[in-house]
């Protein structure tokens, strides 16, 4: 095999193995928050900020609870996004 053919074959292999074009590994897909390994940790600052904003937009002061964990915050954010039409 010539060097040019080898380089062409190598380039073709790289193109077909691009995970962004053909993802074979689906283990990093979106998971249900109840299945998160870090779901019981306190919600992140970004989650708290977004949740507070959504609660204000939904005019639902009780929707924001600073003691939520990551999984609970994610579920509440999803519900408020649907309620406010942001989903």
Residue-range domain boundaries for the chain: 39-87
Q: Residue 30 is encoded by which pair of tokens? A: 């979106």
- Alpha-carbon dihedral angle through residues 55, 60, 76, 86, given to the nearest 10 degrees: -60
Lowest mean pLDDT among 35-39, 63-67, 76-80, 81-85: 35-39
Q: What is the pLDDT of residues 6-64, one digit of tens each?
A: 666 665 555 566 666 665 656 656 766 666 666 578 999 999 999 999 999 999 989 99
Give the whole-angstrom CA distance, residue 36 versus residue 13.
34
Q: Please, what is the Cα angle at 55 between 52 and 57, to 5 degrees?
A: 110
Determine if the pTM surpasses 0.85: no
Q: Are 30 and 74 in contact (CB under 8 A)?
A: no
């Amino acid at each position: 095999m010539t060097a040019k053919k080898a380089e062409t074959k190598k380039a073709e292999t790289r193109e077909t193995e691009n995970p962004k074009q053909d993802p074979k590994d689906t283990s990093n897909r979106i998971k249900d928050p109840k299945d998160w390994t870090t779901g019981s940790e306190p919600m992140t600052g970004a989650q708290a900020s977004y949740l507070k904003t959504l609660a204000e937009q939904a005019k639902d002061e009780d929707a924001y609870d600073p003691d939520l964990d990551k999984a609970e915050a994610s579920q509440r954010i999803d519900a408020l996004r649907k309620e406010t039409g942001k989903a």
